[in-house]
Amino acid sequence: RKEVEQDPGPFNVPEGATVAFNCTYSNSASQSFFWYRQDCRKEPKLLMSVYSSGNEDGRFTAQLNRASQYISLLIRDSKLSDSATYLCVVNWNDMRFGAGTRLTVKP
Amino acid sequence: DTGVSQDPRHKITKRGQNVTFRCDPISEHNRLYWYRQTLGQGPEFLTYFQNEAQLEKSRLLSDRFSAERPKGSFSTLEIQRTEQGDSAMYLCASSLVGPTDTQYFGPGTRLTVL
């Protein structure tokens, strides 16, 4: 089992749609969790941290379920500019990245 | 620009040659990380430093790879006797030790080994 697993997609959605990504992790001792966004041939950029109680930043909502060891990211009212690869990141001793979920938002 | 910088941005080399990459972290950050990323995969952890001490090395880091951070500021990653399988994007990130230890990435060095 991979340490961090994501559905690779691709997810192709129309503008305005709501889309959700899930990520599972294997190490129950993981301490912190993040979603990063990576555009084609660019470096990953922090989208948001994921807190135990769940957190929201505008159109983006992140949830953490420690018991089931998964993290989710919900994007509401998707925009063309949301097209990117979304990387799930789990931190224990060092950062472990999922392979990413590719999202394409179409007009 | 006060973000993480990396040099060079692209490197093409022949198999068997040595290459060295440089990373300059965000100035107040005390942790510096190296990752490797290939197409369709997420970044894979290679090693990290806290100040000048190298605290962890991945088993992915063969003995042809060496990293230094001599003064606790910039870091170098050297690959000796490059192989075609070393072709990848090499990413550097830095962070400030704290509750979340959020990492900020540089633009990467794309290595192509012919």
What is the mean pLDDT of the segment spanning B88-102?
A: 88
Query: Six-digit token pair at B23?
Result: 């990373």
Quick one: closest CA in A to B99, which residue? A32
- pLDDT reading at A94 higher than 80: no
The verdict on a CB contact (< 8 Å) between A49 and B100 is yes
Tell me if B20 sits within 8 A of B76, measured CB to CB.
yes
Q: Please report, for residues A102, B5, B59, the alpha-carbon distance to residue B63 in angstroms, rounded to integers and kept in the order given.
A: 34, 25, 10
Angstrom distance (rounded) from CA B7 to CA B45 = 19
The distance in angstroms from the start CA to the end CA of chain A is 37
Measured CA to CA, the distance from residue B38 to residue B87 in angstroms comes to: 8
pLDDT reading at B66 higher than 90: yes
CA atoms of A51 and B7, how far apart (whole Å)? 34
For residues B30 and B50, the answer to whether their CB atoms sit within 8 Å is yes
pLDDT at residue number A13: 97
Is pLDDT above 90 for B61? Answer: no
Which residues are A89's β-sheet partners?
A: A34, A97
Residue tagged 């090499």 (tokens): B90
Task: Calculate mean pLDDT across residues B88-94.
Answer: 96
pLDDT score at B19: 98
Is pLDDT above 60 for B1? Answer: no
**Predicted confidence band of residue A83 (pLDDT cuts 50, 70, 90):** very high
> What residues form DSSP beta bridges with B104?
B94
Facing A98 at nearest CB: one of B42, B56, B58: B42
**Token pair belonging to B89:** 């994007």
pLDDT band with cut points at 50, 70 and 90 for residue B72: confident
- Of the pLDDT bands very low, low, confident and very high (cuts 50, 70, 90), residue B98 is confident
Which residues of chain A from 13 to 72 reach within 8 Å of chain B, CB to CB?
A: 32, 34, 42-46, 49
Neighbours of A106 (CB within 10 A): 11
